[in-house]
Amino acid sequence: MLGGFFIVAIKGKEADQETVDFLKTFKPSGVILFSYNIPDSVDELREFLYSLKGKVGYNFFFCVDEEGGRVMRIKTPFELPPARQIGEMYEKGMISDEDIFELGEKLGSFLASCGVDVNFAPVVDLYGYNFSVIGDRAFSSDPLTLGKIARAFAKGMKSGGVLPVAKHFPGHGLVLQDSHKELPVSYCDEEEIKKHILPFKMVSDDVYGIMTAHIVLKNLDSLPCTISRRCIAELKSFFRGCVITDDLTMDALKGFGSIGDVALLSFEAGCDAILICKPDYNLLADVFEKFSKDVKKRVSEGRIRDSVQRVAFLRFKRSFARKSSI
């Protein structure tokens, strides 16, 4: 069973037997936490996460979307403003790279103390383009400014003990629609696409993963980036870490088959880790079984080994050989 290529959602706030049995059987590499998984206190959360790892008995990572502002799964004991507020203060000279590093470090230290290993942040989408789903989750409309802020924030989180994952490549600012609800399509030209990709290149040496966006760039491919070989090849041309899909249960991908079908398509395209945010253990079991059965028929052993190594960067906090991005 090749469950190690998956990151999954789980039920509830306790290490119940159903969840333990599921994780033991299918062994996903990661578990993503949502607000419904978070107990009332940090002590209870820490006990829950450590207890679950102990009962399951193998090494997996806990991850979360802890961006600041309106995207916060765990209540922090300090203020973590929306990214755009941070960006505005940076642009006005009110805060520096060091201040942003310290904020990231503070967040990383807090999450690590809770038992969280990976944070799906920073958001590296450009501000001012997409207000349906991104809005104030983005730091800046200027690619270079955004790249500098995201880089400092990511370095801080890593220093604090949590591995950062940038999102959503190649930039959700390239489209207007919300990929949770529909499939966004962009007709932007090559120069505009390069502008949105630049911040990802800038942050690529300081994050351990980059998450894909379920968006179509018509000037690159007719398929959504998550299942586009051309889009993922562009990402892997400058990034050696783990490429993670956004949630495969989002409506943007409904026209491309079942979740099991899309999981295989995303892996074939070059993604290394597959995110499924629906805590339905029967559904997940079916996806894992289909994937494990079909992937070796359609993907080379060398490519599978490469993705195992990339997932290991997150799973075992391994370092990887970076290369200069800009």
180, 221, 286, 306: the active-site residue: 180
Tell me 270's DSSP state: T
Q: Give the model's confidence band at 56: pLDDT under 50 very low, under 70 low, under 90 confident, else very high.
A: very high
- Over 70: is that where the pLDDT of 323 sits? no
Backbone angles phi, psi at 194, to 5 degrees: -60, -35
Q: Which residues are within 8 A (CB) of 205 and not within 5 positions of it... i.e. 6 or more apart?
A: 322, 323, 324, 325
Show the domains of the chain with their CATH numbers. 3-315 (3.20.20.300)
- Choosing from 117, 136, 205, 246, the catalytic residue is 246
Higher local confidence (pLDDT), 81 or 325: 81
Catalytic: 180?
A: yes
Q: Is 246 a catalytic residue?
A: yes
Measured CA to CA, the distance from residue 158 to residue 55 in angstroms comes to 27
Mean pLDDT of the chain: 94
Q: How far apart are CA 223 and CA 177, in angstroms?
A: 16
User: 165 with 208: CB under 8 angstroms?
Assistant: yes
Q: What separation, in Å, do the N-terminal and C-terminal C-alpha atoms of the chain show?
A: 39
158-181 average pLDDT score: 95
Tell me the C-alpha distance between 221 and 228, whole Å: 7
Is residue 325 within 8 A of residue 204, CB to CB? The reply is yes
Tens digit of pLDDT for each residue in 217-257?
999 999 999 999 999 999 999 999 999 999 999 999 999 99
Note the pLDDT of residue 151. 98
Structure confidence at residue 190 (pLDDT): 94
Pairing of strands 71-72, 66-68: antiparallel
Q: Residue 277 class from Cβ within 10 Å (0-12 exposed, 13-18 middle, 19+ buried)?
A: middle
d(CA 185, CA 209): 24
